[in-house]
Structure 1
Amino acid sequence: MSASPDRSSLWGDQQFLLLASARTISVLGNGFARVALAFAVLALPGATPGRLSLVVACQALPQLVFILAGGVIADRMSRARLMVVADVVGAAAYAGLSALVLSGHAPLALMCVLAVVAGTATALFSPAMDGLVPLVVQRDRLQQANGMLRVCTNSSLLLGLALSGVVVAWTGAGWALALNAASFVVSAFLTTRLRVPGRAAKKSSGWDDLKEGWREFTSRQWLWVVVAQYAVVVAALNANVGVLGPLMAEEDLGGARAWSLIVAAQALGTIAGAGLAARVRVNRPVLVAVLATFPAALPLALLAVSAPVWLIAVAMFGSGVSADIFGVLWATTIQREVPEEALSRVSSYDWFGSLAFAPLGLLVAGPVADGVGIQQALAGCAALIALATGAALLSPQVRGLTATARPAAPPAVGAPTVDEGTAQ
């Protein structure tokens, strides 16, 4: 592992700056919503762990159901335009949730419907965003760009999480959800200003595109093995962040402010991790990325034994560092190894596999906590993370894939060039 030269001139690239600004503002609102939604549900009359599980599962399930369609659409149309549509839909969903909470009349069924809408917006947005980055920056600067984007978004998430507990405690969860809705509107406006090369119209059907993306995905053992690993890891982490962690905080740690401190520590760690990952070069990026997953189990284990808040926060900081080392190396490897014209579809299979068990994890976390206890449920999640990560290391390609930096393919002669941000 070695440090790369500082190439901060990316900040002088107007297109990259627009993309980074849009993501930073959107994630700031998400920082508020992550804490606010959980405590908004817990504040409802008759709230139970099962009801919290239901709402957050309703948000996660559409991300799984519609993510493959999102990848196909993103490879067939303007990725920037699809991101704008997703932002607008997300803004409407969170505005509705905010209105329900502020009105004092928030039927569980309606909150679940709006959570489904918010999850659908994410399913449309994520593959488009993954495919847009290589159109904004050059291939040899992808790792730097991914790291810088994560520094921006993680810093913004940290600020949102740090303020969310205070906002929820002082003004209530409704206003925190309203801030998230506003952030999506600003993000949509900034994304409309992006100007990146377009692609020629495709004549194949959506079903053929989906099958082609599947072939690209399954032809790379390192890709599907790590996605299978993260199907388990994401389910365990989501159960912690969405259900078990807030329940433990409410029961033993002091409520929303303590939980906000813990998740803010993780966000601070992701800033350090992203900054480090943007500057280093590793010869075997997938191996390093998988090894960086092990620290994610430690905070859950500490929560399970009722460790002090400060110690849990330190462990969450470490897990944040390792999580973004994984994220930057993983995103850069996919962007380098997968052809650009199939990138959003392969990304959608990545998202689909990684999220495969997330709704189930959220849905059962509350009932399991009721049945065996919150601490035992947390210990089980920590064990699942460690076991899945160890299993991924058995793959020869995970251990052996070396970094490549293939030059970007030149545009085809006569291929149309349009503004992805404004094309109709």
Structure 2
Amino acid sequence: MRVSEAAGVLQHRQFRWFFASGVTNTLGSMMTPIALAFAVLSVDNSAGALAKVLAVEMTANIVFVLFGGVVSDRLPRRLVLQTCRIAMAIVLGALAALMFTGHATIGWFMLLGGLAGGISAFSMPALQGIVPQLVPEGQLQEANALMSFVRNGSNFLGPALGSALVVAGGPQWAFVIDALTFVASSLLLLPVKLPPPAKGATSFITDLRTGWGEFRSRTWLWVIVLAFSVLNAIQSGTIGVLGPVIAKSHDSLGVRGWGLVLSAEAIGMLLMSLVLLKIRLNRPLLSGMLGVSLLSVTIVLLGVDPVTVPLMAAAVVGGAGIETFGTGWNVAMMQNVPGDVLSRVVSYDMLGSFVAIPVGMVLFGWLATIAPTETVLVGAGIVYAAVALSTLLVPSVRTLRQRSEESATEAALAPTD
């Protein structure tokens, strides 16, 4: 399959508008994380202040994600996504106004960060639920790989562009630009026509139970989510917390070298998203879990011999593995979970996968105080690989195949031309 053929998913008019909306939103948002960090530090130059803001944002996301899943299955998903993007534009506009007027405080950052996290808890389940309504089953991998390519490219370029903008005009201008792109991306969704959601008079609790039933009825699904509650905790604690510590204490790596390692991981993800436009993952979960296990090499190497170039090579491979899993996982979910409950199942996936991230950050920070950091990293890398590969003991994880034929419900998809 040539790239030009794979990108044929763009022949679907509805998906083209959806993709254009996503690209616009991503290009604006790629600068915001680094702008937010510098904005917080300009008010209170301490790691503790930044940690508080980020912790509130993540906590709000975790608390509201199940509500987001129910709402995204009950209401038109396009409307949910548009509302979330307009709400995010308001939050970013408020951040910019506080910075321009000199009234920004850590309290304001925490409040607005919490609002942003809550909004994301609604937008992410809606976003995942829309894609299979726009393209045939046989093109879900191409659609996800194409969106990943844009996202990964932005992750690679975003920090550099965001830093330049912060230096040139201050973080408030990044907030302004991102707010405008959220508005534009919301407007670009107007031509996207989706089938109406299933009508029902069930209660919120009943909807949650239905989603939970769909989630736990698929062994491959809950096994991998359970595994990622551990994997994400390890990754956040090792790469997110101990990585910078090792970088500062080893001249063979250093802060600049650590930045190169993180960029190398983004390059690996970017390159793999291109590969996945050409090569089909016949067994998406098998390929994905084998791929994600490769991140363990980076973690172990960080503890054994933290040298920039070898770590960069390992990070490229690890990034490619992460992207393989991400695309394979999305395809497996979109093909095997009914569309009318997909957002709720996605919300359970997000809750289970993300809830341990703050725990991992705290846990590994504590472990580094009672044991040599190098020993902690090597042990964590071994556990990471063991947990990832142990999922392959489950037959449904090994054997789940991607359906290449168009689904029987293709006729119900939004019209294309």
Normalised-by-shorter TM-score class: 0.7 to 0.9
- Which residue is 1:342 aligned to? 341
- Which residue is 2:122 aligned to? 124
- Which residue is 1:278 aligned to? 277
Q: Give the C-alpha shift of residue 124 in structure 1.
A: 0.5
Q: Which amino acid aligns with 1:331?
A: N
Report percent identity of matched pairs. 32
Aligned residues: 413
- Which residue is 2:149 aligned to? 151
> Residues 132 and 312 (structure 1 numbering): CA distance in 2 closer, same or farther, change over 3 Å?
same
1:183 and 2:186 aligned: no
> Residues 75 and 277 (structure 1 numbering): CA distance in 2 closer, same or farther, change over 3 Å?
same
Correspondences of 1:211-360 after superposition (within 5 Å): 211-239=209-237, 243-245=241-243, 261-304=260-303, 307-360=306-359
Q: 1:86 aligns with which of 78, 84, 87?
A: 84
- Which residue is 1:422 aligned to? none
CA contact (8 A) 1:233 1:388 kept: yes
**Structure 2 CA distance for aligned equivalents of residues 177 and 376 of structure 1:** 41
Q: Secondary structure at the match of 1:96?
A: helix
> Residues 374 and 294 (structure 1 numbering): CA distance in 2 closer, same or farther, change over 3 Å?
same
Q: Give the C-alpha shift of residue 376 in structure 1.
A: 6.4
**Structure 2 CA distance for aligned equivalents of residues 91 and 305 of structure 1:** 45
- Which residue is 2:27 aligned to? 28
Partner deviation per Cα, 1:30-79 (whole Å, 9 max, x = no partner): 3222333344445554513x433322221111221111111111111111
> Residues 352 and 308 (structure 1 numbering): CA distance in 2 closer, same or farther, change over 3 Å?
same
> Residues 234 and 191 (structure 1 numbering): CA distance in 2 closer, same or farther, change over 3 Å?
farther
**Structure 1 CA distance for aligned equivalents of residues 366 and 94 of structure 2:** 28
Q: Give the C-alpha shift of residue 205 in structure 1.
A: 2.0
Q: 1:136 aligns with which of 134, 137, 141?
A: 134
Q: Which amino acid aligns with 1:135?
A: Q
> Residues 232 and 397 (structure 1 numbering): CA distance in 2 closer, same or farther, change over 3 Å?
same
**Structure 2 CA distance for aligned equivalents of residues 305 and 108 of structure 1:** 38
> Residues 76 and 241 (structure 1 numbering): CA distance in 2 closer, same or farther, change over 3 Å?
farther
> Residues 234 and 86 (structure 1 numbering): CA distance in 2 closer, same or farther, change over 3 Å?
farther
Compute the TM-score of the two structures, normalised by the length of structure 1. Answer: 0.85
**Structure 2 CA distance for aligned equivalents of residues 92 and 27 of structure 1:** 17
> Residues 348 and 395 (structure 1 numbering): CA distance in 2 closer, same or farther, change over 3 Å?
same
Unaligned runs of 5+ in 1: 420-424
Q: Secondary structure at the match of 2:88?
A: helix
Q: 2:113 aligns with which of 108, 112, 115?
A: 115
CA contact (8 A) 1:23 1:153 kept: no
**Structure 2 CA distance for aligned equivalents of residues 174 and 129 of structure 1:** 27
1:162 and 2:160 aligned: yes
Unaligned runs of 5+ in 2: none
**Structure 2 CA distance for aligned equivalents of residues 373 and 170 of structure 1:** 41
> How large is the Cα RMSD of the aligned pairs?
3.3
Q: Secondary structure at the match of 2:334?
A: helix
**Structure 2 CA distance for aligned equivalents of residues 248 and 167 of structure 1:** 29
Q: Give the C-alpha shift of residue 333 in structure 1.
A: 1.0
- Which residue is 2:56 aligned to? 58
- Which residue is 2:384 aligned to? 385
**Structure 1 CA distance for aligned equivalents of residues 278 and 181 of structure 2:** 29
Q: Give the C-alpha shift of residue 151 in structure 1.
A: 1.4
CA contact (8 A) 1:18 1:194 kept: yes
Q: Which 10-residue stretch deviates more, 224-233 or 52-61? A: 52-61
Q: Give the C-alpha shift of residue 249 in structure 1.
A: 5.7
Q: Give the C-alpha shift of residue 222 in structure 1.
A: 0.6
CA contact (8 A) 1:24 1:156 kept: no
Q: Which amino acid aligns with 1:288?
A: S
> Residues 43 and 300 (structure 1 numbering): CA distance in 2 closer, same or farther, change over 3 Å?
farther
- Which residue is 1:76 aligned to? 74
CA contact (8 A) 1:227 1:350 kept: yes
Q: Secondary structure at the match of 1:131?
A: helix
> Residues 365 and 411 (structure 1 numbering): CA distance in 2 closer, same or farther, change over 3 Å?
same
**Structure 2 CA distance for aligned equivalents of residues 87 and 269 of structure 1:** 29
Q: Give the C-alpha shift of residue 319 in structure 1.
A: 1.9
**Structure 1 CA distance for aligned equivalents of residues 287 and 154 of structure 2:** 26
CA contact (8 A) 1:285 1:329 kept: yes
Q: Which amino acid aligns with 2:277?
A: A
